[in-house]
Amino acid sequence: MDKISIIVPCYNEQEAIPAFYKAVTETAAKISGAEFEYIFVNDGSKDKTIDVIKELAQRDGRVKYVSFSRNFGKESAMYAGMEYASGDYVAIMDVDLQDPPELLAEMYDNLKSGEYDCVASRRVNRKGEAKIRSFFARCFYKLINKISQTEIADGARDFRMMTRQMTQSILSLCEYNRFSKGIFAWVGYNVKWLEFENRERVAGETKWSFSNTR
Ligand code: UDP
Ligand code: MG
């Protein structure tokens, strides 16, 4: 039986966590041949996020968590989750259900076939997003792809599933200021892209701020 670790960075997400847990565990139950562990990373939330996570962990042995003393940002949360993950496959998902859980099955199937090391996801539009944000996000991708030799896809999400081997490669980089979308591309490996339409957050608000345009 394969084990899939799902890493879930959470910052002030007390409302979104129960909906995420319900949707993802229901979807996961339909995937045969794999068992799941859920690694929630509390990124220094100021609301009751940690209490909600602890309650889930008490009820469900597959739920584990890491908790930060303050807010370090999503990049650090993803990294801590990857260090903690014990699965044969490692996935990263936002907790607000903007990353469609139904793609997990396709990701797993593609990895299992042995043809790919990573199955990543791309939003094909930014519908529903603040216009100013979309504008600066586009500028960011244009600029970064001009100055960097590592191609970074516009619309790429952090939502992806990868093999243990690729996970180890990422963890072995001693990069302090992490930009995961760059690192995921830079380590190489065979990546398959799945596309999906943008969808709205299930609860709560975006934690995006101007200093974090992508
Ligand atoms: N997040 C985090 N630390 C932060 C900001 C966000 O762990 O400092 C998490 C957040 O809880 C969510 C994911 O990262 O699970 C994506 O955040 P958000 O939905 O605010 O970003 P957006 O979808 O607007 O890009
Ligand atoms: Mg979101």
All domains in the chain, ordered by first residue: 2-196 (3.90.550.10)
User: Does the C-beta of 181 come closer than 6 Å to ligand 1?
Assistant: no
pLDDT above 90 coverage of the chain, percent: 69
Mean pLDDT of 175-204: 83
> Where in the chain does DSSP place strands (E)?
2-10, 34-42, 63-67, 89-92, 118-123, 156-163, 191-196
pLDDT of residue 166: 94
pLDDT of residue 30: 97
Closest atom of ligand 1 to 71 CA is 8
- 214 pLDDT above the threshold of 60: no
What single letter denotes the amino acid at residue 141? Y
Mean pLDDT taken over the chain: 90
Its pTM stands at: 0.89
pLDDT above 70 coverage of the chain, percent: 95
Residues flanking ion ligand 2, Cβ below 5 Å: 94, 96, 98
User: Does the C-beta of 88 come closer than 6 Å to ligand 1?
Assistant: no
Q: Which of 207, 209, 211, 214 to mutate to test the pocket of ligand 1 (most atoms within 8 A of CB)?
A: 207
Closest atom of ligand 1 to 201 CA is 19
In which order are the strands placed within the sheet that holds 191-196? 63-67, 34-42, 2-10, 89-92, 156-163, 118-123, 191-196
Name the closest ligand to CA 17: 1
- 137 pLDDT above the threshold of 90: no
Spatial separation of the C-alpha atoms in residues 179 and 75, rounded to whole Å = 7
